[in-house]
Amino acid sequence: MPTTPTTLDATLAARQQRLHDILTERGSVLIGMSGGVDSVLLAAVAHLALGERAVAVTADSPSLPRRELRATEELARQLGLHHLVIRTDELQDERYTANPVNRCYFCKSELFAHLARLSRELEIPWICYGENVDDQGDHRPGSVAAGEYGVRAPLKEAGLSKADIRALAQAHGLPIWDKPALACLSSRFPYGTAITAELLARVEAAEDALWDRGFRQFRVRHFGDTAKLETAPEEMAAAVAQSADLVAAFRAIGYRSVTLDLAGYRRGSMNEGVVAIAPGQIGVRAPGLPEV
């Protein structure tokens, strides 16, 4: 069970109270819970505020690593959450598999459509997800889908930043308070590279190989027959030391070459060429061209 923290600084305590009030005012909520620290904290606080009237829902989709699904199910059990797993399949949507820059819009639309149907079945009118105030700076077309479906972002509404969320998660005794940021497997592909179940499985196998060798913050970026590794700076030396083993493992998975990105892991690196070209529109800047 999550616990209610008793000692927080005044600003964080006020934001937590605001989050609690937002959820209590709803009376009952459905929460899209991916397993990352944001959505888990939201589900935990909702559980404290509303008990069984807070229902956490995880979407089992082709782009969710099996390791993450198992971990999320186990965490929900440990926390005593009212937790459901539903099946979604964004790969049935050709607009998604074409992998445009607004790919996340189609994924979130699929998710929110399922949650909307579930909310009607359970007679729970409010749907929430784990966007926070820091998420407003990155390229996030999924938030457009949230607006279209009327999905609330209580963490953002309460003014909570990522640092706030980690501090609250730690204060609540959540074991994933310092878990690295999550992103679906489709985020490992350059925009315009078609996404298939087979390629998702290849990337997942490569990342499982890293996990099994002790790496904890990383991404495997897929560039055809080349896998580009992004690791946390403190894990780069380990990647170099294990290079022969990693190359052999990745070749067995289907990659011909393996590279290490010396810039290290960074959130949203596949968005680095995405620029605004007009209000409400986005495009991809070709390498070497100036931003406009």
Structure tokens at 170: 């730690």
Average of per-residue pLDDT across 214-240: 97
What's the CATH number of domain 185-269, 2.60.40, 3.30.70, 3.40.50, 3.30.160? 3.30.70
Domain boundaries, the chain: 10-171, 185-269
Query: In this predicted model, which residue has the larger pLDDT, 187 or 279?
Result: 187
What's the CATH number of domain 10-171, 1.10.287.3510, 3.40.1080.10, 3.40.50.620, 3.40.50.11890? 3.40.50.620
pLDDT at 1: 57
Residue 232 has pLDDT above 90, yes or no: yes
Same fold for the domain at 10-171 and the one at 185-269? no
Average of per-residue pLDDT across 212-241: 97
Residue 89: alpha-carbon gap to chain centroid? 16
State phi, psi for 281 to the nearest 5 degrees.
-125, 155
Confirm whether 184 is a catalytic residue. yes
- Please state, in angstroms and rounded to a whole number, the distance separating the CA atoms of residues 104 and 101: 8
Q: How confident is the model at residue 291 (pLDDT cuts 50, 70, 90)?
A: very low
- Print the SS3 string covering the chain: CCCCCCCCCHHHHHHHHHHHHHHHHHCCEEEECCCCHHHHHHHHHHHHHHHHHEEEEEEECCCCCHHHHHHHHHHHHHHCCEEEEEECCHHHCHHHHCCCCCHHHHHHHHHHHHHHHHHHHHCCCEEECCCCHHHHHCCCCHHHHHHHHCCECHHHHCCCCHHHHHHHHHHCCCCCCCCCCCCCHHHHCCCCCCCCHHHHHHHHHHHHHHHHCCCCCEEEEEECCEEEEEECHHHHHHHHHCHHHHHHHHHHHCCCEEEECCCCCCCCHHHCCEEEEECCEEEECCCCCCCC
- Of 104, 107, 128, 184, which is the active-site residue? 184
Q: How confident is the model at residue 290 (pLDDT cuts 50, 70, 90)?
A: very low
Range name among 14-23, 168-177, 192-201, 267-276 with the lowest pLDDT average: 267-276
Q: How confident is the model at residue 139 (pLDDT cuts 50, 70, 90)?
A: low
pLDDT at 128: 98
pLDDT tens-digit map of 162-211: 999 999 999 999 999 999 888 899 999 999 999 999 999 999 999 999 99
Q: How confident is the model at residue 153 (pLDDT cuts 50, 70, 90)?
A: very high
Mean pLDDT for the chain overall: 91
Residue 148: other Cβ atoms inside 10 A: 12
Residue 171 vs residues 16, 41, 55, 92: alpha-carbon distances, Å: 11, 11, 22, 41
Query: In this predicted model, which residue has the larger pLDDT, 62 or 287?
Result: 62
